[in-house]
Structure 1
Amino acid sequence: MASFHQRGKVWAYSVHNKDYLVNQLKKKITKSGFRTKKEAQLAANKIETALAEGTLLKESNITFETFANEWVKYYATQVKISSVRARSIAMKHLISAWGHIPLKQITKHMYQSHINELNKKYSHNYIDSIHTTGNMIFKHAIRQDLIHANPTVGFVMPKKQVTVEDIEDEDIQKKFLELDELETFLTITKEYGLDMDFLSFTTLAYTGMRLGEMIALKWSDLDFSKKTIRITKTYYNPSNKKTSYELLTPKTKKSVRTIKIDNRLIALFKAHRREQMELKMKQRLVYDDQNFIFAESTGQPRVLKQVALRLQRLMKRMDTDKHITAHGFRHTHTSLLIEAGAGVKEIQERLGHGDVNTTMNIYAHMTKNVEEETSHKFSELTKGLL
């Protein structure tokens, strides 16, 4: 049971720790500084719960690294393994700076200064990921009553110093293929591509789905009569070993979607299914049939790295200085939708963007052709006025 008392204008609690010999914490755990008795009671309840669950750590011995590793174990019970991996990578940048420093000694100045230094090396998005991870760690420490103040409160995201060279180098047009370039690439792929290359890159370009979503597709996701593909999962395999993959839920709730496909893609899938059935018969002693569309000769889904390598080799045959990744076909699909007259909402739903801002950012970058056409139409309309 906890007891409460008032010291001047603030309240304090005192929690009796009956297992102090086992958990090596103080026999009485006290804390003051609460504005009301209600606040003190809520804080004491957290301590009592943590004591009962054995999750309250000894403050004097807790380094940032120890607590961060405890936090990531807790975090792993709440989210997908891919999220845990991303947070663990970001966390290393914080541990490298404060690993052996007691958690309670990390100040706002220390936090802001370290992120400012990291900002000189990494992209804005990656800095945001590191800060988000740090914020989650310190918030968890607050909930555990291990620190009195969160050093991430008041943090200001540093701005990236943009140089003239950065502006000149930033060319969104180099990250996707125009219609004529896509035609050239698919022609090259059809002539020089290996098994499933043509189907893979046509699917990416014609649907705008993420590479992991495509690799995870099963025949049960494809409806030939309705001409639709149902996207409900994504492929996760950081080790790039054929048998080490996992199928996870998609990136966001909006990513679960059904998209229409045209007759050309339907025809490609039907041809591929016939070839796959023949392969299964030839490989029936070793083929592990899990119903994947993009399956290798043993039935396992194709690994992401293999698709990336095939793309690099095929791009070398094109006369272009563009660096196109598998994700670039998602941008390519977006640009084609814009030229076809699709609205922002339609694009958002087809691509499975959870945040409309994501769609708008891409939309804003890719309306060059539409803007030029609009400008030309305006000039033609008004040429007789002056």
Structure 2
Amino acid sequence: MKYTPIEINKRTRTIKGKKYVYYEARCTVQLAKESYRENGSGKTRQTAKDALLKKLDAEEKKNIISVPVKSETLSDAIDHFLKYKLSEGWAESTYSRNQRTRENQIETYSIGMKHPLEVTHNDILEYLEQLRSYKYSKSTLDKAYSLLQLYFNYVYQDNRMQNPCYGMKIGYAPKLEEDQVLTSEEVARVFKACDKLGGNTDIIKFAFMTYERPGEVSTLKFSDWSRQTKTVKINRTYTEDAEGKKIVSAEGKTKTKTSTRTIKLSEMANDLLIKRYNQRWQTLGKRPGSSYIWTQKKDSGKPIDYNTLRRLFNKVLEVAEVEKHITLHGLRHSGITFYGKDRDQFLTISKNAGHSRPSITEDIYSHVLDEHKDAAVKSADNLNKIF
């Protein structure tokens, strides 16, 4: 929103014979085809200016919200919708990921050229079938449909029966398969490989025991950890800038609102941090303070690089002679599956994982957990028993 420089003038007002002094801030808002005056008042110059800026901010958000439906094409509508979600507090990485989906899987297809209010249930079915015919992966289809679903749920929030996505069962979280997670025996070999290789490999053990997302564990600081209460606060992650480059997010900007959380550590996980803390203290000659727990070799002021962590994990798998193709995120899946065998702790595990609802954890992991329901693992500290 464009507006002229703010003018602040002193005013007086007489009410019941008593004179009051106040300040008025004014500016002219310039739109594409018209302009109008806006003002705000207060007891001081600053409060008057703040009142005006608050009005301008509310008006700008109102304009952003109205654009998605007024846009001529679905692609443009989703573009404005994503910008609105970003202004409402979405993480930059979530915004960038959805923008790439819009640009690659919606804008270049006929559905992206339709008016948003003209898109029908059959249009979406035909669009998804078109993506399948081009041999796109299920993950890509899920992302494309999830974006459409997110947008249309917003547009038709007051009339869901007109929502073209209503009643469709596509795009929900896929069930995890057994070959995507580590078995108890493989976990034991991975832990022994970490001990053998040393260095930053203890991050692999910690990530498994806390089943954090790779970006969350990579950007942990010693100030996030409480030695006394044996807890660690997940407060940041790796995100992406406009060019797709990995950067550390701002404080409190995790993947979702429920991703900002405090995790209770097992004795084994807490002891691991104590050991690393003491090692860093000895190296620096002073307390680590708020430095990153796992850092880059060339720059100890920066957290371990995401790609470095991936290569480190692949090296550990090689030494552990694990032949499965387990991704770095698969380490999180393995941790949740391992500890989720104790169904009494399932709700706690779901909260620690940062899922907004236990049903999400159940939908993704129940298939694998049921196949291993006879496994003898009762709590996090029982990890020692598999060695």
TM-score range, shorter chain: 0.5 to 0.7
In structure 2, relative to structure 1, the CA distance for the partners of 1:113 and 1:257 (3 Å cut) is same
Query: 1:338 touches 1:367 (CA, 8 Å); kept in 2?
Result: no
State the TM-score, normalized to the length of structure 1. 0.65
Unaligned runs of 5+ in 2: 1-28, 35-58, 377-387
Query: 1:240 touches 1:303 (CA, 8 Å); kept in 2?
Result: no
Query: 1:112 touches 1:155 (CA, 8 Å); kept in 2?
Result: no
Aligned-pair CA distance for 1:201: 0.8
Unaligned runs of 5+ in 1: 1-18, 25-48, 144-148, 161-169, 374-386
In structure 2, relative to structure 1, the CA distance for the partners of 1:152 and 1:302 (3 Å cut) is same
Query: 1:173 touches 1:366 (CA, 8 Å); kept in 2?
Result: no
Aligned to 2:223: 220
Secondary structure of the residue aligned to 1:354 is coil
Query: 1:240 touches 1:304 (CA, 8 Å); kept in 2?
Result: no
Q: How many residues in Structure 1 have an aligned counterpart in Structure 2? A: 307
Secondary structure of the residue aligned to 2:372 is helix
Matched, 1:82 2:84: no
Aligned-pair CA distance for 1:216: 2.5
Matched, 1:73 2:76: no
Distance 1:135 1:129 in 2: 10
Aligned to 1:134: 148
Q: What does residue range 271-310 of structure 1 map to in structure 2 within 5 Å?
A: 271-280=275-284, 291-296=291-296, 297-310=299-312
1:23 paired residue among 28, 33, 36: 33
Q: Partner letter of residue 118 of structure 1?
A: L
Distance 2:333 2:291 in 1: 29
Query: 2:238 touches 2:249 (CA, 8 Å); kept in 1?
Result: yes
1:329 paired residue among 328, 331, 337: 331
* Cα deviation digits, residues 196-226 of structure 1 (max 9, x gap): 11x2011012112222221222212211122
Q: Relative to structure 2, which stretch is displaced further, 183-192 or 131-140?
A: 131-140
Distance 1:173 1:98 in 2: 38
RMSD of aligned Cα (Å): 4.1
Aligned residues with identical type, % of pairs: 18
Aligned-pair CA distance for 1:307: 0.8
Distance 1:341 1:118 in 2: 39
2:372 paired residue among 355, 369, 372: 369
Q: What does residue range 86-97 of structure 1 map to in structure 2 within 5 Å?
A: 86-92=97-103, 93-97=105-109
Aligned to 1:184: 189
Q: What does residue range 152-231 of structure 1 map to in structure 2 within 5 Å?
A: 152=164, 156-157=168-169, 172-193=177-198, 195-197=199-201, 199-231=202-234
State the TM-score, normalized to the length of structure 2. 0.65
Query: 1:112 touches 1:156 (CA, 8 Å); kept in 2?
Result: no
Aligned-pair CA distance for 1:254: 3.6
Query: 2:258 touches 2:356 (CA, 8 Å); kept in 1?
Result: yes
Distance 2:73 2:207 in 1: 46
Aligned to 1:42: none
Q: Partner letter of residue 315 of structure 2?
A: R
Aligned-pair CA distance for 1:159: 9.4
Aligned-pair CA distance for 1:123: 4.7
Distance 1:54 1:258 in 2: 34
* Cα deviation digits, residues 38-81 of structure 1 (max 9, x gap): xxxxxxxxxxx89x959977x99934444444443333212221
Query: 1:217 touches 1:294 (CA, 8 Å); kept in 2?
Result: yes
Distance 1:204 1:83 in 2: 22
Q: Partner letter of residue 206 of structure 1?
A: M
Aligned to 2:254: 250
Computing the radius of gyration over CA atoms, which structure comes out larger, 1 or 2? 1
Distance 2:341 2:168 in 1: 39
Aligned-pair CA distance for 1:177: 1.9
Query: 1:241 touches 1:303 (CA, 8 Å); kept in 2?
Result: no
Secondary structure of the residue aligned to 2:108 is helix
In structure 2, relative to structure 1, the CA distance for the partners of 1:275 and 1:112 (3 Å cut) is same
Query: 2:239 touches 2:249 (CA, 8 Å); kept in 1?
Result: yes
Distance 1:141 1:261 in 2: 42
Distance 2:215 2:320 in 1: 25
Aligned to 2:237: 234
Aligned-pair CA distance for 1:229: 1.7
* Cα deviation digits, residues 139-162 of structure 1 (max 9, x gap): 77789xxxxx978355745699xx
Distance 1:351 1:135 in 2: 24
Distance 1:344 1:60 in 2: 45
